[in-house]
Amino acid sequence: MAKLIIRGLETHVDIWNEAAEQTIVALHGFTGSSATWRNLARALPHMRIVAIDLIGHGQTAVPEQVSRFAMAEQLLDLEEIFCQLQLETFALLGYSMGGRIALSYALAYPHRVDKLLLESASPGLRTTKERNERCERDNALAEKITMNGLQSFVNSWENISLFASQKRLAKSVKQAVRAERLSQSEKGLAGSLRGIGTGMQPSNWDDLTRLAFPVLLITGSLDVKFCNIALEMKALLKNGKHITVNDAGHAIHVENPAEFATIVNEYLT
């Protein structure tokens, strides 16, 4: 566990299996934290897992300015983290929001990334119209979080259709996911939505052809939207592979952690 000062912001990083030679940097999704990857670190003791609390999440400080949440800022933060930790090259894994950030980082700093693994992730929205509409929805949700509080938000968030398949999970797993969501702050989540929501980030669709290193796209068969996005992405990638996990939804690492760890391990070794 490390607390780093990154461009003026106290940033929380968890590092597991420190003696291992191979490094995976792992970026969580919206409402997540470095704790998202604890089970993966247990399942892969031969790999060093560097998990970062992204801006507005976990134990990383919440900036005052919404502009500090922007994609360009987050990429500069990541680069500074890797410089401070003396990480030269690594495998980069991102889930959902973390996948959007991981892809954006890989495009900005391709020399750092050996392999890119994207779980239920997208390159953003293609058109200005789509981005503007999404920004309106994200801003409305941010307002709701600020007005009604964290518990009210989590109660509705865990019931959206994207997470329907998580209803079947063991009670202890559901409680752990809920606890991680409830450990966030209203200000952090609202800032994240306003600053780095899907509508705010520049589209990366046209840049996918630039990626030369291997890219693995992982989706759950029940998450039809992201399966379709992955198929479109794979068609544009020079060195892309798409794996679909049967009977899983958006968060494969939560719904089928053993299968997820096996996929990651086999891809990297």
For residue range 138-163, what is the model confidence (pLDDT) as tens digits? 999 999 999 999 999 999 999 999 99
How would residue 119 be classed by pLDDT, with cut points 50, 70 and 90?
A: very high
SS3 content of the chain, % helix, strand, coil (to 5): 50, 20, 30
Inform me whether the pLDDT recorded for 246 exceeds 90. yes
User: Which conformational region is residue 36 in: left (phi greater than 0), alpha (psi within -120 to 50 degrees), or beta?
Assistant: alpha
Note the pTM of the prediction, 2 decimals.
0.98
Assigned fold of 2-127+202-268: Rossmann fold (3.40.50)
Residue 212 three-state SS: coil
How would residue 236 be classed by pLDDT, with cut points 50, 70 and 90?
A: very high
Residues 15 and 49: beta-carbon distance below 8 Å: yes
Q: What is the phi/psi pair of residue 137, to 5°? A: -65, -45
Beta sheet of 113-119, edge-to-edge order:
2-6, 9-16, 47-52, 22-27, 90-95, 113-119, 215-220, 240-245
Single-letter amino acid code for the residue at 181: R
- Nearest one of 13, 15, 12 to 23, comparing CA atoms: 15
Q: What's the DSSP call for residue 263?
A: H
Straight-line distance from the first to the last Cα atom of the chain, in angstroms, rounded to the nearest whole number:
26
Taking only the tens place, the pLDDT of each residue in 15-40 is 999 999 999 999 999 999 999 999 99
Measure the CA–CA gap between 82 and 80, rounded to whole angstroms: 5
